[in-house]
Amino acid sequence: MTDLSIPGPFWLIGCGNMAAAMLRGWLDAGLDPAQVTVVRPSGKPVAEGVRVLTTLPLDERPAMTMLGVKPQKLDEVAPDLGPVLEGSDLLISVLAGVEQASLRRRFPGPRTIVRAMPNTPTALRKGATSLYAEGGRGEDRAVVERLMRTLGHIEWIGDESLFDVVAALTASGPAFVFRFVDALASGAAALGLPEDQARRLALATVEGSGALAAASGETPHQLAERVASPGGMTRKGLDVLDADESLNRLVQATLEAAVRRSREMGEEARRT
């Protein structure tokens, strides 16, 4: 366990699936739970040593805050939270679609605002997180980078307009991968393999393939070609996926649908 020090009290506003996954990763990496306060209406505990409140402690001030509510809930929390964040160092938002300008309009007080787009494998510290900030203090950005790097791979995105694409790729991406694992297992089960065995083998295959792709200096396309001998069984299967670029077109359409929804949420935040 490492020493994951942060500059003062850290508030999590909301603690749904994504924020909870991040918090588990940070605590496993050595974050002191006594520095963390979670504010959630349910008051449900999140981890040993982490204070959970149902309302904002208006007599306190955080050094840094992370917005982990659903984007549709932003205007429910902003009126009370905005004044509390006056003079705070850092606000991190993991709200899909909600742009910097929309955040700054509601929260003028924090010195630096950073958008972060993580994914649920952060709970295992194997996530992928993209970051965007307009200006802000270098030390604030460094704190965010250190926090997010403990959860896995990070990328700074230079153009905020691409953040919707990033969200579709990395934040929604695990769900798409899980669907593909399901499809592999279902296909094998339809051909006679017991369902539980098909599921275990599909999961192990995807886990190992991802690790190999990450460790290899070759592209995923090159790795696929290495498996596919001319005239062999793998080649015959790839011929189905590659026909008329059907897999590529399906995946692109999937990402486009997610991007559209992210942009719709951004437009909704701009209007309010």
Predicted pLDDT at 3: 60
Question: What's the rounded Cα separation, in Å, for the pair 122 and 153?
Answer: 9
The percent of residues above 90 in pLDDT, for the chain, comes to 82
Widest pairwise Cα distance in the chain = 71
Fold of 10-157: Rossmann fold (3.40.50)
Sign of CA dihedral 213, 1, 144, 167: positive
DSSP three-state, residue 14: coil
Q: Where are the domains of the chain?
A: 10-157, 173-263
DSSP three-state, residue 136: coil
DSSP β-bridge partners for residue 65 = 11, 91
Which own/partner contact pairs does 51-60 have at CB distance under 8 Å and 24+ positions apart? 56/80, 56/81, 56/84, 58/84, 60/9, 60/84
Predicted pLDDT at 2: 55
Same fold, 10-157 and 173-263: no
Question: What's the rounded Cα separation, in Å, for the pair 88 and 111?
Answer: 6
Predicted pLDDT at 6: 84
Question: What's the rounded Cα separation, in Å, for the pair 166 and 172?
Answer: 9
Q: Which amino acid is at 272?
A: T
- ∠ CA 125-127-131 to the nearest 5 degrees? 120
Does pTM top 0.75 for this prediction? yes
Q: Which among 31, 1, 22 has a CA at the least distance from the CA of 92? A: 22
Predicted pLDDT at 215: 95
> pLDDT tens across 100-156, in order?
999 999 999 999 999 999 998 988 889 999 999 987 778 889 999 999 999 999 999
Q: Which residues of the chain have pLDDT under 50?
A: 1
In CATH, the architecture of 173-263 is Orthogonal Bundle (1.10)
- Contact between 141 and 133 under an 8 Å Cβ cutoff? The reply is yes
Question: What's the rounded Cα separation, in Å, for the pair 188 and 92?
Answer: 43
Question: What's the rounded Cα separation, in Å, for the pair 192 and 4?
Answer: 49
Region of residue 13 (phi > 0: left; psi between -120 and 50: alpha; otherwise: beta): beta
